[in-house]
Amino acid sequence: MALALHSPRLINFPFSHTTINAKADYSRQWSSATTRRRTTIRANADDKDKDKDKDRPAFNPFGFVTDNPSSRSSIQLPENPAEDGNVGQMLYRIEDKGKEYGSYIKSGKFRWFVRETGSAETRRGTIVFLHGAPTQSYSYRVVMSQMSDVGFRCIAPDWIGFGFSDKPQPGYGFDYTEKEFHEEFDRLLGVLNVKSPFFLVVQGFLVGSYGLTWALKNTSKISKLAILNSPLTVSAPIPGLFQQLRIPLYGEFTCQNAIMAERFIEAGSPYVLKLEKADVYRLPYLASGGPGFALLEAARKVNFRDILSQIAAGFASGRWDKPVLLVWGISDKYLPQSVAEEFQKGNPTTIKLTLIEGAGHMPQEDWPEKVVNSLRVFF
């Protein structure tokens, strides 16, 4: 509502000078008392604020990083930043980490980073390990090493857009859709000369789910399937990270968090990653903006509910008859144990559930020895 502005007017008061002076004296006294009272109240409030400030920690603009024990050296605050703690120094410190058993494989238009242990001539068979978002095949390194020790050939690629594999810009040959992930994975299996049927191990969200939908479309290529903590039913909750990525502008900011992967792992686990492990998970996100934007594109293209409906229906009784081992870390803070139990009830004769105490969302990282024991018996 607009306010009307009026010109000041001269008003004649019908009071005597004595009356006006008396009222002026009273007004000054009241004003003085009020001022003293306000001063006293403000002083008391200031004292209380000072007391609160004594208990309040000093503001730290990088607190979101340094409060995380595994990330305390990811951003450093030295007196001379040019000499220490900048991104270049961090990359130099960790650039050679995390590539155990790995090499670059050209498949079609893209380079995949693929970890491989064991011999291609083994009679025990080949196990292909698929990771979920926003992580990488590094999570399987211990499991792969131990499974190859007992005679298996083990292969674990970084999905396109993740880890150390190529991260093409959307619109230039790869748009991060389920169909394209499936097609490129098929090409890679051919290049690696993976003979069917083989054993498949899948874990995690988004690209992990694409590993399961690939299995549903290629049942003849799989001998046995092992599933580690993954969303398997329409009731499975979706972590906040993937919801944030789908928000315009906010998603662009979120995807460029260099410690996003390690924070995601720790938030779903009862443990904190050791620094040498956290270094590897953050390395791709420190090296360029590509991994973040690849994750952003994949998260915006996926229809989680549709994918989960496909998985729940596809592995139900009467539609899937290959042996399935469900290895579940019961301390998973993203996916409750009830998701695994509900999934097993859909096909109890085919799906065997093994619970792992002390493991969270990524049991292959939290407790690889227990995962190996389960896989050895199953395969």
Q: How would you write 85-143 as a 3-class SS string?
A: CCHHHHHHHHCCCCCCCEEEEEECCEEEEEEEECCCCCCCCEEEEECCECCCHHHHHHH
Q: Which residue has the higher pLDDT, 38 or 130?
A: 130
What percent of the chain stands above pLDDT 70? 75
pLDDT per position as a tens digit, 226-245: 999 999 999 999 999 999 99
Name residue 205's amino acid: F
- Sequence spans of domains, the chain: 94-378
Strongest mean pLDDT among 19-23, 76-80, 119-123, 205-209: 205-209
Instruction: Give the model's pLDDT for residue 95.
Output: 62
Task: State residue 67's pLDDT score.
Answer: 44
- Res 66 pLDDT > 80: no
pLDDT, tens digit, 9 for 90 and up, residues 340-368: 999 999 999 999 999 999 999 999 999 99
Mean pLDDT of 81-97: 53
Quote the pTM value. Answer: 0.77
**Quick one: pLDDT at residue 171?**
82
How many of the other CB atoms lie within 10 Å of CB of 27? 10
Quick check: 55 pLDDT over 70?
no
Helices (H) and strands (E) in the chain, counts: 15, 8
Average pLDDT over residues 57-67: 41
Cα gap 61→133, rounded to integer Å: 28
pLDDT tens digits, residue range 214-227? 999 999 999 999 99
The pLDDT value recorded for residue 348 is 97
Among candidate residues 262, 270, 296, 269, the one with its CA nearest the CA of residue 75: 262
Structure tokens at 144: 């792969």
Q: Contact, 237 vs 303, CB < 8 A?
A: no
Tens digit of each residue's pLDDT (9 = 90 or more) over 15-54: 444 444 444 444 444 444 444 444 444 445 445 444 544 4
- Cα 38 from Cα 354, distance rounded (Å): 69
**pLDDT reported for residue 172:** 85
pLDDT at 173: 86
The CATH superfamily assigned to 94-378 is: Alpha/Beta hydrolase fold, catalytic domain (3.40.50.1820)
